């Protein structure tokens, strides 16, 4: 099979495509012919050796895919050859085939294409866990989403709306904000041409927002924390700006605000039952059309440099995927 391989930590441009042996499923494992694989900002960090968890090279990156079961190991009862599935994995998705434990495999919802299924796991599961378990977002509360047109940002808008919140989307261009609005945001803020803090105060009549969803970090973070309401929750999702923010502790004291870290990958590994429950709840939202993965760009594996550049150049709206079949 062909695979995109990271031979040493560094730029995504240094990845290579090679032909390697097809993986063989062992007991309890399933082999999947991958039709599409989701591309996420953290892939760039993993390839650079800057992610929280390091895999020693050589390795095949990519943490989510969708495809067709092409082989099963001993003891598999839930899947058969030919089933269309979604798979969540820790590395190995940027290849024509992968082998994983059956616990990481789920039926592809009938409403979804392979591309949508491939782009579902990381972003939706992160935002659902963040807004449900970490923020305890309530109907009628106000949610501010930074980087709102990006991968996790768009899913936070959709899930926030599905949970009954008023959603304010903030992003760096009017084009991105139009996309956020089409995803369901109630109001928008372009943070390149105004003070985020002032804009939030204006939109909330001075009350502030109940929950901040921040995958960007950098200078915006402190402004967003300042703009929280009493008992506000600021969710630390990621640092796409490249800068990890630092906060004066008085900002938390003044509002009895909480700064809550979110790491879905590790939370789901420690809480398989909570993750299963989240997936069940999201399945209902997919079935009734409230959640619809927005695939805006597709790339062949050979176009990997272009694909990753779209993320690092801050161009992506919604979700981008590799197509492999």
Ligand X SMILES: NC(=O)c1ccc[n+]([C@@H]2O[C@H](COP(=O)([O-])OP(=O)(O)OC[C@H]3O[C@@H](n4cnc5c(N)ncnc54)[C@H](OP(=O)(O)O)[C@@H]3O)[C@@H](O)[C@H]2O)c1
Give the one residue of 12, 25, 36, 40 binding ligand X; rule: CB under 6 A: 40
- What pairs with residue 19 in β-bridges? 2
Q: Is 176 in the site for ligand X (CB under 6 A)?
A: yes
Minimum separation from the CB atom of position 290 to ligand X (A) = 20
Nearest to 212 by CA among 134, 279, 151, 285: 134
Q: Which is nearer to ligand X, 193 or 256 (CB)?
A: 193
Site for ligand X in 262-281 (CB under 6 A): 262-265
The answer to whether 37 touches 321, Cβ cutoff 8 Å, is yes
Minimum separation from the CB atom of position 20 to ligand X (A) = 27
Q: Is 171 in the site for ligand X (CB under 6 A)?
A: yes
Q: Is 41 in the site for ligand X (CB under 6 A)?
A: yes
Q: Is 307 in the site for ligand X (CB under 6 A)?
A: no
Minimum separation from the CB atom of position 123 to ligand X (A) = 6
The answer to whether 190 touches 168, Cβ cutoff 8 Å, is no
Minimum separation from the CB atom of position 154 to ligand X (A) = 8
Task: Give the list of residues 6+ apart from residue 276 with CB closer than 8 angstroms, or none.
Answer: none
Count of residues engaged in binding ligand X, rule: CB under 6 A: 30
Minimum separation from the CB atom of position 243 to ligand X (A) = 9
Task: Give the Cα separation of 42 and 13 in Å (integer).
Answer: 15
Q: Which is nearer to ligand X, 79 or 247 (CB)?
A: 247
Q: Is 245 in the site for ligand X (CB under 6 A)?
A: no
| Gyration radius from the chain CA atoms | 20
The answer to whether 311 touches 38, Cβ cutoff 8 Å, is no
Structure letter (DSSP) for residue 13: G
Handedness of CA 287, 279, 281, 263 (dihedral sign): negative
Strand ranges for the chain from DSSP E: 2-5, 16-19, 29-39, 64-72, 84-88, 97-101, 105-107, 142-146, 166-171, 187-190, 209-214, 228-236, 258-261, 295-300, 319-323
Give the one residue of 95, 316, 321, 324 binding ligand X; rule: CB under 6 A: 316
Give the one residue of 42, 67, 160, 208 binding ligand X; rule: CB under 6 A: 42
Give the one residue of 137, 145, 225, 240 binding ligand X; rule: CB under 6 A: 240
Minimum separation from the CB atom of position 83 to ligand X (A) = 27
Minimum separation from the CB atom of position 126 to ligand X (A) = 4
Chain contacts with ligand X (rule: CB under 6 A): 40-42, 122, 126, 147, 149-153, 171-172, 176, 215-216, 237-242, 262-265, 311-312, 314, 316
């Amino acid at each position: 099979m062909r695979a995109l391989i990271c031979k040493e930590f560094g730029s995504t441009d240094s990845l290579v495509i090679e032909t390697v042996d097809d993986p063989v499923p062992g007991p309890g494992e399933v082999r999947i012919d991958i039709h599409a694989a989701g591309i996420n900002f953290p892939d760039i960090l993993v390839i650079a050796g800057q992610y929280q968890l390091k895999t020693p090279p050589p390795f095949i990156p990519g943490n989510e895919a969708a495809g067709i079961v092409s082989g099963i190991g001993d003891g598999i009862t839930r899947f058969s050859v030919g089933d269309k599935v979604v798979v969540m994995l820790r590395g190995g998705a940027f290849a024509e085939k992968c082998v994983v434990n059956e616990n990481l495999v789920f039926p592809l919802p009938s409403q979804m294409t392979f591309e949508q299924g491939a782009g579902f796991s990381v972003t939706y599961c992160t935002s659902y866990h963040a807004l449900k378990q970490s923020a305890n977002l309530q109907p009628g509360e106000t949610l501010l989403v930074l980087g709102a047109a990006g991968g996790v940002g768009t899913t936070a808008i959709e899930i926030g709306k599905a949970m009954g919140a008023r959603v304010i989307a903030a992003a760096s261009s009017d084009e991105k904000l139009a996309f956020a609005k089409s995803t369901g945001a109630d109001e928008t803020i372009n943070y390149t041409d105004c003070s985020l803090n002032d804009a939030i105060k204006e939109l909330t009549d001075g009350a502030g927002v109940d929950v901040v969803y921040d995958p960007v970090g950098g200078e915006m973070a402190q402004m967003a924390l300042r703009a929280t309401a009493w008992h506000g929750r600021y969710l630390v999702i990621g640092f796409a700006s490249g800068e990890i923010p630092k906060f004066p502790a008085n900002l938390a004291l003044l509002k009895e605000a909480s700064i809550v870290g979110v790491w879905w990958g590790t939370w789901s590994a420690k809480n398989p039952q909570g993750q299963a429950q989240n997936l069940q709840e999201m399945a209902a939202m997919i079935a009734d059309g409230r959640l619809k993965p927005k695939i805006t760009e597709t790339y062949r594996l050979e176009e990997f440099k272009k694909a990753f550049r779209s993320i690092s150049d801050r161009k992506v709206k919604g979700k981008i995927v590799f197509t492999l079949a």
